[in-house]
Amino acid sequence: MSDTATFLETLKARSQARGAEPTWMAARRQAGAARFDALGFPTRRDEEWKYTDVRAIAQGNFALADDADFSPAKAATLTLPLDAHRLTFVDGIFASALSDLEGLPQGVQLAPLSRALADNHEAVGGPLGRLTGVEFSPFSALNMAFVEEGAVIRIAPGTVVEKPLILQFLSRAQEQAVMAHPRVLIEAGSRSEATVIEHFCGEREARNFTNVASEVILERGAILSHYKLQEAPQGDFHIASIHVEQARDSRYTSYNLNLGGALVRNDLISDLNGQGAETHFYGLFFGQDRQHVDNHTKVNHNAPLTFSNENYKGILDDRAVGVFNGRVYVKKDSQKIEGFQSNQNLLLSDRAQINAKPELEIYADDVKCSHGTTTGQLDAEAIYALRTRGIDEATARGLLTLAFAGEVLEEVALDAIAERVELAVAGKLPERFNLAGLVETASALHD
C-alpha cells in the first residue's frame, strides 16, 4: 500500500465511525481527501519542499488518539507559568480538565473547535479553510480531511484582552504513535487587542505527528501578538501553517520560536490587504542532533502604505539542518511600502547545515525594501575576551550562542516566554557548557 493510501484508509475508518456533520463540513473534508489523494506527499522535486524530506512522516504509522488522559501533575511541569485563559489538547483531543476558561472577559470567545461547531456551525464554516484551503499544500489538504478539533478565538471589536489566550498542545509518549490535525481560527475584531500563544510540548519519548493549520483574521485596526512556542518532543513530527489576513491599520506580530521536533516545517504568511497594515515576524530556531527545521515565510504587500519587518535567527549544531525561505512580495502599484527582512544563522558544528533563501518580488517603484542573510560562526575576538576572564572556550562559545539567540528574544514582550526559551537554549547547549544554572540565577536577580 502506498503512503498516501495508508492515510486515506485511516481517514475512511474514521469517517465511518463519525456521526452526522454539517453538509459544508462533509464537503470540505471530501475535497481535502480528494486533493491529498491527487497530490500525495510532497517530494524534494517540489520547489516548496526542496530542502525538506517528509518521507519519515509519509512512511509513518499514525493512529488517531481516542482519549485525552494526561496526568495533571505532569501537565503542570510543561504548562507556561502565565496567568492566562487556556485550552489544552492532548494528542489533538480537547482536555477539559487541563483547560481554564473561567472568567473569560466579555467580548472574548475561546472555545474548542468541536464545541464551536456544535454551538453554531455556520459561524465556523465562514472562516474555516478560507485562508488555508486544500490547495495550499498536501498537508493543508490532509488537515482539512481529518480536522475534528482545534480552537476558535473571536475578539469582539474594541475589546482589549488583558490575559494571554493559550492553546496548549500536548504530545504523549505511547506505544502507538498518533497524529493530530488541529485547526485554529482567530478573528480579531476592529481595534481589538490580544495575545494568543500556541504552545506545543509533550513527553520526552513521544514520536507523534502534528499537522496544524491556523487562520488569522485581523480586522481594521486590530492588534494581535501571536506566539508560537514549539517545544515538541525531539521525536515528534511537526507541520504547521499560519495564514494571516490583515485589514487597514492592523498590526500583527509573530514570534515563531522553535526548539523541538525531529522534523519541523512552518509556513507563515501575512497578507497586508489594507493601507497602514503592518506585520512583524520574529523567529528563532535551534536544531541539534539530526533535527530538521524548515521555516517558510511570506509577506504579501497587497496594498500601498503597508509595512513589514522580519528577523529570523537560526542556530544549528551537530548534524541539524535548517531552512529559511523568506519572501517579500509587493503587488503591482502598491506604492510607499516598506519591507525589511533579515536572517542570520549560526553554525556550531562543521556538519550542521543551513539553506537560506531570501526572495524579493516587487511590482511597484516607490518602495523601500531590504533583505539580507548571513551564516557564520562565533566571533573569535569575543571568545578571546571571555577566555581572558578565565572562562573556558566551550563556555565562552555557549555564552555567545545564548547572546545570538538573545537578539531575537529581547523582542519578545512576554518575559515568561523569553526566559523559558533562553533557559531552553542554555540547556540545549552541549552538557559541557550547559548554562542553565547561570540563566536561572540571572532571572532570579531580575525579581
Q: Around Cβ 175, how many Cβ atoms within 10 Å?
A: 4
- Binding another protein (rule: CB under 8 A), the pick from 58, 63, 382, 416 is 382
438 is an interface residue for another protein by CB under 8 A: yes
Compare residues 60 and 406 and give the one whose CB is closer to another protein.
406
- Binding another protein (rule: CB under 8 A), the pick from 289, 361, 366, 393 is 393
Q: Report in angstroms how near the CB of residue 286 gets to another protein at its nearest.
A: 15
Compare residues 156 and 438 and give the one whose CB is closer to another protein.
438
Give me the 250-289 binding string for another protein, x by CB under 8 A, dash otherwise.
----------------------------------------
404 is an interface residue for another protein by CB under 8 A: yes
Q: Report in angstroms how near the CB of residue 416 gets to another protein at its nearest.
A: 17
3-state secondary structure of 61: coil
Compare residues 313 and 327 and give the one whose CB is closer to another protein.
313
DSSP summary character for residue 104 = P
- Binding another protein (rule: CB under 8 A), the pick from 64, 155, 180, 386 is 386
Task: Give every CB contact of residue 221 below 8 A, 6+ residues apart in sequence.
Answer: 190, 191, 247, 248, 249, 250
3-state secondary structure of 308: strand
Q: Around Cβ 184, how many Cβ atoms within 10 Å?
A: 23
CA distance 11 to 32: 11
- Binding another protein (rule: CB under 8 A), the pick from 19, 81, 103, 390 is 390
Q: Report in angstroms how near the CB of residue 407 gets to another protein at its nearest.
A: 6
CA distance 330 to 338: 9
Compare residues 39 and 438 and give the one whose CB is closer to another protein.
438
CA distance 41 to 138: 6
89 is an interface residue for another protein by CB under 8 A: no
Q: Report in angstroms how near the CB of residue 442 gets to another protein at its nearest.
A: 5
Write the DSSP assignment of 80-94 as a string of letters.
-----EEEEEETTEE
CA distance 401 to 185: 36
Q: Dihedral angle at the C-alpha atoms of 290, 90, 166, 109, nearest 10 degrees?
A: 140
Compare residues 350 and 381 and give the one whose CB is closer to another protein.
381
435 is an interface residue for another protein by CB under 8 A: yes
Task: Give every CB contact of residue 261 below 8 A, 6+ residues apart in sequence.
Answer: 230, 232, 233, 234, 236, 237, 238, 291, 293
Q: Which residues bind another protein (CB under 8 A)?
A: 379, 381-382, 384-393, 395, 399-400, 402-407, 435, 438-439, 441-442, 444-446
